Chains A and B, each alone.
Chain A
Amino acid sequence: MSTVMKTTRDVRGVGLSIPRPDGPEKVTGHVQYVADIKLKGLLHAKLLRSPHAHARIVSIDVSRARALPGVRAVLTAADIPELKRKAPTRAHAVLAIDRVVFSGQPVAAVAADELAIAEEALDLIDVKYEVLPASVDPLQSLKPGAPPVADAGTEADASEALAHSAVAMAKSDDAPPKAVNVTQTANVKRGDVAKGFAESDVIVEKTYRVPMVHQGYLEPHAVLAEWDTTGQLTLWASTQGSFNTRAEVADVLGLEENRIKVIPVECGGGFGGKIRALCEPITALLARATRRPVRYVMTRREELEAGMPAPQVIIRLKTGAKRDGTLMALEAETVLESGAFSGTVLAVSSVFLGSLYKWPAFDIKGSEVLTHKPSVAAYRAPVAPQTIFAIDSQMEQMARALGVDSTDFRARHLSRPGDPMVNNQPWASNGAFEVLEKAAAHPMWKKRAEWKASGGNGHGLRGTGIALGGWLGGLQPTSATVKLNTDGTLAVLTGQVDIAGTNISLAQIAASAYGVDIEKVKITTGDTDVAPMTGLSAGSKTIYTVGVAVMQAAQDARRQTLEIAAGELEAAMQDLEIVDGRVVVRGMPDKGVTLASIGKKGNLYMSKVPPVIGVGHPAFTQQAPAFAAQLARIEVDPDTGEVKIHDFVIVQDVGHAINPLACEGQMQGGAVQSLGIALTEILDYDD
């Protein structure tokens, strides 16, 4: 027996680098993703997609496709009474009704015995289109007279903003959009911007564009749908949030949530692109029409043409400062290209542009513009990376124009906790200043002059870059339960989709909060029928919110356990502690009861001891902004423009690292994806 006394403070739990317990399943190929699941009688779905960015559907003839042997159903909009015009979201636009608004939009759906038959059936569907002029460039699309994307009267979609609990705009001077494709506008102001510029010695005006890029998760969207004879729908989905998926599907299909079970199957990457429902409704409708289980898996080409990529963001910034570096004014104009459906989080852009640094005067305008392209979603946070790129680059440009050190310049003007954001809410506690300071002190930054001087002479041009960015942190209510098993082990239940390895961290929190070693804790991600309501795996908030739910549930279970033990030991609860799987009286290690005996009594016939089940169901008001500073040591070939990254440093404020191993993986992966956006990736469209 161990001589080390264990308390809640020194169990094997929070702070340890523990490999995720499902690792062996993942490295042996045994983990099942949606496309790996086979049900008896399974049918395969394919969607016929529009080849045109904008066209009127003159006619659809599916008769030849329906006649093909092995085809079990062919659906068009005419077969789906739930479909309505003016679809407020992409999910509601299950199939195009009489007009297609982006290339790749589904027009008809087929379910067949084999995938090859479904593919063949697509070739037999005859759609006649009248091609219409398309709005492809957001700067053209926002002008009056541009070809309209949405049906007149379609409402803007702010549900993504709600899903992320991004900062609400307390004071937004919204003018009604005039241009037909401008679906949301925002304008926040403070102070006298014209006076600020008039008194500035240095004014820098630049436009920053970040292209539309795809999240590129390796697993394409996939869903499997089955109805039982009582009208219960089960969806096996690749989603970042099973409860959100259930709510969206229920809304689109007009079903009660009680009739839908969403099983969050292992999700092969999301990065923000699998938050909103996409192909779940049509797959469910095919399953209903055929009374068979139907599986739909998008191809990579379909993903790139008709996924939900990150928006193109165009930001014009004009900033002014005094010769001594005093900031005077910021003027900003943001255009978010939302594709064919509204749904970007416009407020995030305004908040970051105006709040990161202390501007005495600002005037920030933003518009969401529709184009004839697939609708967009988050990618490592909605609109934040793109906006941060613009304002951080602008600060770099300002420092250069003033001839001052750019890290000093950032640090001097950086908003600190308590400073007002553009919506006048105070900045929450954050590590922006600290990560910037750390990066500036790193040898790679200190030795940037030597690195620069080593360029040329057979090498390319060499330089070192620094950037500072962050995210406000999402919020979403969530819940968890912790049960004591009859052998003294713990069962933690949430609905949390574990993409990145969050479950091990949650289990560590449960272990520490209850007072047992991590080996005694099993955590399960339940489906929407069995799991308590759980938020999205998105918004950089899983541990911050679900972790709290698990912690509270474990504390609740601990309290119940101690209460039962107190009765048995005839001791006061506050004198008890949990040591090595036993509740003991502090200082009297021989006087105790095992957790197993308490657990057993919760399931013993005729027992008067209730089962231990802790519940945590917090809601949140306080965001936890997360900041990172990064250094890149690069070399540019002056002839080809090729950029080679020689070294890269990430300094990130992760808060208290519950599982450092998992934190490192997150930081490395996020940095490499951002390099992809910066250097190599684009979803490019011509006219």
Chain B
Amino acid sequence: MPKQILSFTVNDEPVETLVQPYVTLLDALREDLGLTGPKEGCGTGDCGACTVHVDGQPVASCLMLAMQARGRSVRTIEGLAHAGVLHPLQDAFVRLGVPQCGFCIPGVLMAAAAVLAEHPRPTEEDIRYGIAGNLCRCTGYTKMVAAITEAAGSLT
């Protein structure tokens, strides 16, 4: 199949790349653009490790074709910190010792960032619902919820 031109915005930078039409957004980000922060944990949209933002909304990038992102704005975990300063969510995750193996963390953080965008003062239920699509096997989620709660406080 001939490759197609994909023009979109990734982490605030305009990007143009050639992709196979059957390639997922996750593979295009990881293999073509070298953004390996988003992870493939399942490839079926169940684990949330591949979560990125498309036009501000959290999506499972393993379920979206790269060409569907044409003309849209994508943000990955690599674009969450700003000018070398950790996002309050990232800072809270580090301080509270959330990451263990760390594989789920990029997806969880992007889901959490979406929660905070929608609910600047989220309840515990908002947070748990917001990251319900993200599996973590190391942490039991307790510290995650605490860290997101703390980050929400520092943002307001």
Contact = CB atoms under 8 A, between A and B. Distances in A.
Interface of A: 17, 19-20, 23-24, 26-33, 35-36, 38, 116, 215-220, 266-271, 297, 299-300, 499-501, 661-662, 664-666, 668-673
A28 B20 contact: no
Given A27-B94, A220-B41, A665-B139, 11 more contacts: A23-B93, A26-B94, A27-B93, A29-B37, A30-B37, A216-B137, A271-B137, A499-B100, A664-B97, A668-B140, A672-B139
B43 A665 contact: no
B44 A26 contact: no
Contact of A219 (B39, B77, B78, B90): B39
A29 B140 contact: no
B95 A19 contact: yes
**Which label, helix, strand, loop or mixed, suits the secondary structure of the B interface?**
loop
Given A28-B86, A500-B101, A668-B143, A269 B20 contact: no
Given A23-B93, A29-B36, A665 B103 contact: no
B91 to A, nearest CB: 8
B103 A23 contact: no
Interface stretch (B63-71, B104-112, B117-125): B104-112
A24 B102 contact: no
A300 B42 contact: yes
B154 interface: no
Given A28-B81, A665-B138, A669-B139, A219 B103 contact: yes
Given A19-B94, A218-B49, A500-B100, A27 B139 contact: no
B137 A217 contact: yes
Given A28-B80, A29-B76, A19 B97 contact: yes
A219 B140 contact: no
B86 A501 contact: no
A36 B36 contact: yes
Contacts of A31: 102
A268 B78 contact: no
B106 A218 contact: no
Contacts of A500: 100-101, 138
Nearest to B42: A300
B77 A29 contact: yes
A38 B96 CA distance: 32
Contacts of B46: 300
B135 interface: yes
A269 B78 CA distance: 22
Contacts of B93: 23, 27
A218 B104 contact: yes
Interface residues of B, number: 49
B99 A299 contact: no
Q: Which of A31, A38, A670, A671 has the most CB of B within 10 A?
A: A31
11 contacts: A17-B97, A26-B102, A27-B86, A28-B37, A36-B30, A36-B36, A217-B137, A218-B104, A220-B41, A664-B143, A669-B140
B38 interface: yes
A675 to B, nearest CB: 9
Nearest to B22: A116
Contacts of B76: 29
A197 to B, nearest CB: 42
B37 A218 contact: no
Contacts of A220: 41
Q: Which of B35, B98, B102, B140 has the most CB of A within 10 A?
A: B102
Q: Which of B38, B42, B89 has the most CB of A within 10 A?
A: B42
A665 B97 contact: yes
B47 A218 contact: yes
Contact of A268 (B86, B97, B103, B142): B103
A267 B36 contact: no
A28 B90 contact: yes
A266 B102 contact: yes
A661 B97 contact: yes
A24 B86 contact: yes
A669 B38 contact: no
B43 A299 contact: yes
Nearest to B142: A668
Contacts of A669: 100, 137-140
A215 B137 contact: yes
Contacts of B137: 215-218, 269, 271, 669, 673
A459 to B, nearest CB: 19
Given A17-B97, A27-B86, A268-B101, A35 B40 contact: yes
A267 B77 contact: no
Contacts of B109: 27
Nearest to B101: A269
A649 to B, nearest CB: 12
B98 to A, nearest CB: 8
A499 B137 CA distance: 12
A27 B97 contact: no
A662 B101 contact: no
Contacts of A17: 97
Given A29-B106, A116-B22, A300-B41, A219 B86 contact: no
Contact of A662 (B22, B39, B95, B97): B97
Contacts of B100: 269, 499-501, 665-666, 669
A672 B97 contact: no
Contacts of B106: 27, 29
B136 interface: yes
Nearest to A21: B94
Nearest to B110: A29
Contacts of B99: 20, 23, 26-27, 501
A662 B106 CA distance: 20
Given A27-B94, A28-B90, A217-B137, A665 B101 contact: no
A116 B19 CA distance: 13
B101 A218 contact: yes
Contacts of A501: 97, 99-100
Given A27-B90, A28-B80, A218-B47, A668 B139 contact: yes
A638 B47 CA distance: 30
Q: Which of B43, B76, B137 has the most CB of A within 10 A?
A: B137
Contacts of A19: 94-97
B94 A267 contact: no
Contacts of B140: 665, 668-673
Nearest to A28: B81
Nearest to B1: A116
